[in-house]
Amino acid sequence: MEITYPFAKVFTDNTNKLNVFFLHDTQHTTFEQIGDIGNGIVDFCELDFTKVLDKIKSSSTITVSEQNFENIKKIFWNAVDLLKDKHSYVHFFLNSEILRTFYASQKTKVEMVDYLIFLFHYYANLQKTYSDALEMSLNKEVLTEYTLAERYMMFCNLTPTFTHHMLRSMYGIAPISYGKFDTSKLIAFDDPKDVDTRKVLQNIHRDSNYEVSMWQYFAIQSLEEMLYLEFMEMIKRGILVKRCALCDKLFVLADKRKRDYCDRIYKNNRTCKQVGAKMKFNKSVGEDKFLQEFQRIYNRMYSRYYRIDAWDSECETNKLSEKEFREWSALASKLRLDYKAGSINGDEMIDALSKSTEY
């Protein structure tokens, strides 16, 4: 399938960063190193789409006509602008999809509007899929008895569409030396005619082990492809996530250091890490018997939902539906959050949790 602008070229290397060229059009390219791998997914799952969807809703009540089409377009531009600077790449790709739909598709005006309404809802729903993907495949505090590979397989069994993704890969010359992308060798230019190609190539090859420093990259055109690529790199590298001991949100464990708190602002401009370090009663799961008990109950309910018993046998008893599990899980998360924040004590948390599992 042909690639149309805007799109991104993504080079992976042996660091935990993604090297991304955003090609806005034939003339304009920006380069960014996005890291650490995993943050893009976690941040995506937390993006608030409510206002965006509200704005878009207003377009669905207007009958599309020649006269009001410019106004309808504006609704979509305004909606996507709400996501500007909120995420490392979501705005770029959603903006691109709108551009392509309005200016490079064969769709009728009505189809364009319908498609974009569908698209924004699709991405809002994809947050749920990726939250599940992270929790199930990469949070080591749940499903403790399974290896990461087993857990990834279980996630794929539950979400068969996930394994159907395809990414386009191409080759290009890139300044990668010793397995690392060398940003100091990138050049910015306004006019390709001004570039001394020979010099640029010499510079790239100066410390390359290859005759031609040719690297495979991914040509990424949609947000969905980008999320998939980043998630696969997490799986491949075994980059784990964890729930913050204070705010209960997922964060990426970028290295092997033991961490219990995230870097989000908790209150008064202080991060969970700063606040958490001062709060003695906020022990990690390993040291806290109430959180351990919480985890045990949580794992049991998780297994009932994901029917992990069926992984080993044909047993299907006690299965929870997705709706039941989500309702339960929302309640459980709230209890854990209240406990971590100190508004209920450990016994109260476990009591309420045990009662809630009786269905």
Residues engaged in binding Zn ion (CB under 5 A): 244, 246-247, 262, 264, 272
Helix (H) or strand (E) holding 30: strand 29-35
Q: Are 29 and 21 in contact (CB under 8 A)?
A: yes
Nearer to Zn ion, 37 or 272 (CB): 272
Per-position b or e across 259-286, b if 16+ CB within 10 A of its CB: bbbbeeebeeeebbbebbeeeeebeebe
In the complex, the smallest distance separating the C-beta of residue 264 from Zn ion, rounded to whole angstroms, is 5
Nearer to Zn ion, 151 or 243 (CB): 243
In the complex, the smallest distance separating the C-beta of residue 341 from Zn ion, rounded to whole angstroms, is 11
Among 126, 85, 96, 95, smallest CA distance to 230 is for 126
Helix (H) or strand (E) holding 154: helix 148-158
Nearer to Zn ion, 83 or 247 (CB): 247
Among 136, 138, 98, smallest CA distance to 119 is for 98
Nearer to Zn ion, 244 or 291 (CB): 244
In the complex, the smallest distance separating the C-beta of residue 260 from Zn ion, rounded to whole angstroms, is 9
In the complex, the smallest distance separating the C-beta of residue 105 from Zn ion, rounded to whole angstroms, is 42
Query: CA-to-CA distance for 266 and 247, rounded, in angstroms?
Result: 7
Nearer to Zn ion, 143 or 247 (CB): 247
In the complex, the smallest distance separating the C-beta of residue 265 from Zn ion, rounded to whole angstroms, is 9
Among 299, 268, 280, smallest CA distance to 342 is for 280
